[in-house]
Amino acid sequence: MQKRELGRDGLRVSALGLGCMGLSYGYGPATDRTEAIALIRAAYERGVTFFDTAEAYGPALNEEVLGEALEPFREAVVIATKFGFRNGQPGDGLDSRPERIRQVADAALIRLRTDRIDLFYQHRVDPDVPIEDVAGTVKELIAAGKVKHFGLSEAGAQSIRRAHAVQPVAALQSEYSMWWREPEAEILPLLEELGIGFVPFSPLGKGFLTGRFGADATFAEGDFRGTVPRFSAEALKANQALADRVRELAETKGVTPAQIALAWLLAQKPWIVPIPGTTKLHRLEENLGGADVELTPDDLARIEHALATVHVQGDRYAPSHQQFVNR
C-alpha cells in the first residue's frame, strides 16, 4: 500500500489506517480477543501500518489487544492513542490536566507493550485546561522520548492554531466523509496552511455510505448509532438519496460503495489518511481495496455534482455529545 505523510516531521503511514474503536466500543458487544488480534494482524499483513486506539475505547479490548497484536512487528507500525476523558470514560466528562495526560501516557505504554506512543491525540478539547498547557505537556513527553508526535481530535480552528504554536501538531482527527463535509469550509484550508495531516474517522459515515441501512434499520443494544439523530428512521429515509448516489457512482467504476467513498477521501488531499474500522476480514479487504481505486478529474466532478443534489438531514451527534466538538 502507498504511504502518506502526516505533518512535517516525517510521520509516514499507510494511505489507509485501521480504526480500532469498534472492536470494543460504540457498536455493540466487544469482539472476541483472539478474533480482534487476528483482524489487526491481517490488516498489517495487507499493508496497513497505521493503527488507531484510545484509552476511552476500553483498555482491556483496545490498547491491550492492539499492543499484543502488534508486538511482533512493532518497529514497522505507527500506533496512535488518545487522552482527554476523566477516568478514561467519556461519560465522566473531560480531563486534560497535565498530570492526567502524563498518567494516561504511562499507562498506555504498558498496555501497548511499547516504549513510545507514535501519535498522542487529545481526544477532545477541554475548556477547563488551556490548550497551551496541553501542548506543553505533550512537548515534555516528546522530549522524554515517551511520545513521538502530537495530535488533536475534533478541535476547532482557534484551538489548533494555539496548540500548534506551542508544539507542532502532526495530525488532526475529525469526522469527514461524503455525508459530513463541514471540515472543508475552515479546517482543511487551515491544516494545509500549517502543514498538519488529516485523519478522517467514520469515513464511511458510520456505515451509512455502504448502503447497509434503510429507513427500517434497527441497532443492537450498545450501538451508539441508535442515539444519533442522523440515524433516526426519518433521517435515514431522507438520506437514502445519498446512499443511492454513492451506489450509482460505485457501479460506474465497478467497485463497491465503501471503496468509492474511501477513494474520494484519498483524492481530496495527499495528506489525508482515513481510518475505516471493521470487525470482519472481508470488510477489511473491501475497505483496503479503496486505496487502489483511481478517480479521474471527470470522476471527481461527477461525484461533486451528485453530492450537491442531496441535502443530508440529521445531526451527527446527540445533544449530549455535541458539546465536545469543534472547540
Catalytically annotated residues: 57
Angle at 327 between CA 17 and CA 102, to 5 degrees: 65
Q: Are 180 and 316 in contact (CB under 8 A)?
A: yes
Q: Which three cell numbers stand for residue 34?
A: 483472539
Q: Residues 6 or more apart from 246 whose CB is under 8 A from it?
A: 178, 209, 211, 257, 260, 261
C-alpha separations of 321 from 94, 212, 232, 325 in Å = 12, 25, 16, 8
Rounded Cα–Cα distance for residues 15 and 41 (Å): 17
Q: Are 86 and 54 in contact (CB under 8 A)?
A: no
Reading across the β-sheet that carries 18-19, which strands appear in turn? 18-19, 50-52, 78-83, 117-122, 147-153, 169-175, 197-201
